[in-house]
Structure 1
Amino acid sequence: MFKNLIPKIFYDRLEDGLEFFVDGLGFEVQYRDANMAVIARDGAKAYLVESPEYAAKDRPELGIDTDDVDAVYRELSARAPQLLHPNSSKVALKPWGSREFAMLDKTTVCVNFRQWPDRA
């Protein structure tokens, strides 16, 4: 019954969120007004909201599951190498079993891209 969990990410300036998600990660804007944008790519979606008050309180870490983390890494590291997280700038196997890397914006919003092993 549940289909998607869609996060709301707060920014001091909406443009900072659009710069990261649209310019850096390749999301597309599906809706935009003065204080909010709905962005999407493939099956991932988020709401970016301009709110200095809430942005000061929360800098989230998000995860996006993928079926080809190596292809995502090749694309994003070529598109925006400056956004690679300094502590997770290469695809690596993590102790919990996923292969992942991360991107980090200038406001410290972090997006982890991960691929889980196929379950037989």
Structure 2
Amino acid sequence: MLTEIHPKIPMRDKKVTREFYLKNLGFKEFGSADFDGYLMIEKDRIQIHFFEFKELDPKENYGQVYIRSNNIDDFYQSLLDKKVQIHPNGPLQIKPWGQKEFSILDPDSNLLTFGQSLIE
């Protein structure tokens, strides 16, 4: 039986990635060990893992994660309050497939899409 998923996406600079996710998105570091070239973060029941890829060209990065929320409006507003840049093609909107969602890019151009189902 499958119970969770923890995506692994690339990062160029661990310090920059850590600061972006902790400061802007409200994640915290997961685990007690600090591994070279690897970062684990969590928020609520979501974990994201990062592996170091110093040669990553952000313009060629297609890393993507879809994260479900049960309070998308408040989370979106919290990012706006922190001046987090929303993806130009991804402002908060209702999609034809019954999701309310928005997207941002992290410092390495990993696309993070946050969505809440409007269908109960």
TM range (shorter): 0.7 to 0.9
Q: Which amino acid aligns with 1:100?
A: E
In the alignment, which of 65, 84, 96 is matched to residue 62 of structure 1?
65
In the other structure, the counterpart of 2:29 is 29
Partner of 1:112: 113
Q: Displacement, 1:20?
A: 2.5
Which runs of structure 2 are paired with 1:1-120 in the superposition (5 Å)? 1-31=1-31, 32-53=34-55, 55-56=56-57, 58-79=61-82, 81-89=83-91, 91-119=92-120
Paired residue total: 116
Assess if the C-alpha contact under 8 Å between 1:24 and 1:83 holds in 2: no
The alignment's C-alpha RMSD in Å is 1.7
Write the letter of the residue equivalent to 1:30. F
Q: How big is the shift at 1:67?
A: 0.9
- In the alignment, the residues of structure 1 paired with residue 37 and residue 44 of structure 2 have an alpha-carbon distance, to the nearest angstrom, of 24
Gaps of 5+ in 2: none
* Alpha carbons 1:83, 1:105 under 8 Å: kept: no
Q: Distance in 2 between matches of 1:49 and 1:33?
A: 10
Identity percentage over the alignment? 26
Q: Describe the superposition over 1:61-109 as per-residue Cα deviations: whole angstroms up to 9, x where unpaired.
A: 2111011110111112212x242111113x2011222001112123211
Structure with greater proportional helix content: 1
TM norm structure 1: 0.84
